[in-house]
Amino acid sequence: MQPSSLDELIEALRCLPGVGPKSAQRMAYHLLQRDQRGAARLAGALGHALDVLQHCERCNTFSETEVCQRCANPRRDPALLCIVEMPADLAMIEQTQSYNGLYYVLMGRLSPLDGIGPRELKLDKLIARAADGVVQEVILATNFTNEGEATAHTVASLLAPRGLRISRLSRGVPVGGELEHTDTGTIAQALVERRTV
């Protein structure tokens, strides 16, 4: 027997992260009963995004053109390449308005126990991008989680032999932070990585 279109919709919604059978059912009823216009908009937007979005040839983030606007901007410094895990990280660094180089978005992180390795992250594409002869410094801005650290180390060891300067975002007590209210893990690491002034 073919599943009904309702079952099909519930099953499809379960592909979202953190959505189990119950929430999927609730979402489906909501879309069909309470917000049909929203449902049509969602369907249209999803289809359109799938049609037009691709990965930027240079920075790997989502883009509607082969090379995204940021990478095509001649006012950005092409000698600096900042490597981040996700587009949200890129947006955060952009918000600081203190970085004028280019980016490369990994679209994930190395996670050995989940089987996400260099092949799944397409690190060969990153190597080709960073070794274009124009990039001089690579800034590793992956997260300060264990997976982010493993990713940073891996990328560094792949790019260092190619004559690039490699730097890593520094970490420590947050700006405006007081030691008394900072978590012990951060203070412990700040002590290990203390710098001379």
Partner 1 sequence: MAFQPLLMDWSGGGEVKTLVRAEWQGGQPLLGGRALLCGYYLNELLVRLAAREDPHPALFAAYGEAIAALGRNEALVVVLRRFELLLLQELGYGLDLGHEADSGEPVQERADYVFIIERGPVPLGEIDPASIDGLTIVSGRTLLDLAARDFSRAETLAQAKQLLRMLINHYLGGQPLQSRRVLKELQEL
For residues 68 and 58, the answer to whether their CB atoms sit within 8 Å is yes
Candidate segments 82-90, 91-99, 107-115, 129-137, binder of partner 1 by CB under 8 A: 107-115
Tell whether residue 115 is a contact of partner 1 (CB under 8 A): yes
User: What are the structure tokens assigned to 96, written together?
Assistant: 């600081």
Look at residue 51 and give its three-state secondary structure: helix
Tell whether residue 61 is a contact of partner 1 (CB under 8 A): no
For residues 33 and 6, the answer to whether their CB atoms sit within 8 Å is no
DSSP codes joined into one string, 2-20: PPPHHHHHHHHHTTSTT--
Query: What part of residues 147-186 is at the interface with partner 1 (CB under 8 A)?
Result: 149-150, 153-154, 157-158, 184-185
Judged by beta carbon, residue 35 or residue 124, the one nearer partner 1 is 124
Out of 117, 132, 134, 162, the only residue in the binding site for partner 1 (CB under 8 A) is 117
Out of 87, 108, 118, 172, the only residue in the binding site for partner 1 (CB under 8 A) is 118
Query: What part of residues 63-82 is at the interface with partner 1 (CB under 8 A)?
Result: none
Cα–Cα distance, 10 to 20 (Å, whole number): 10
Judged by beta carbon, residue 30 or residue 165, the one nearer partner 1 is 165
Judged by beta carbon, residue 55 or residue 153, the one nearer partner 1 is 153
* Antiparallel, parallel or unpaired: β 137-140 and 165-168: parallel
Candidate segments 2-10, 25-33, 38-46, 121-129, binder of partner 1 by CB under 8 A: 121-129
DSSP codes joined into one string, 64-131: SSSS-HHHH-TTSEEEEEEEESSHHHHHHHHHTT---EEEEE-SS--BGGGTB-TTTTTHHHHHHHHT
Tell whether residue 112 is a contact of partner 1 (CB under 8 A): yes
Binding footprint of partner 1 on the chain (CB under 8 A): 110, 112-115, 117-119, 123-124, 127, 146, 149-150, 153-154, 157-158, 184-185, 188-189, 192
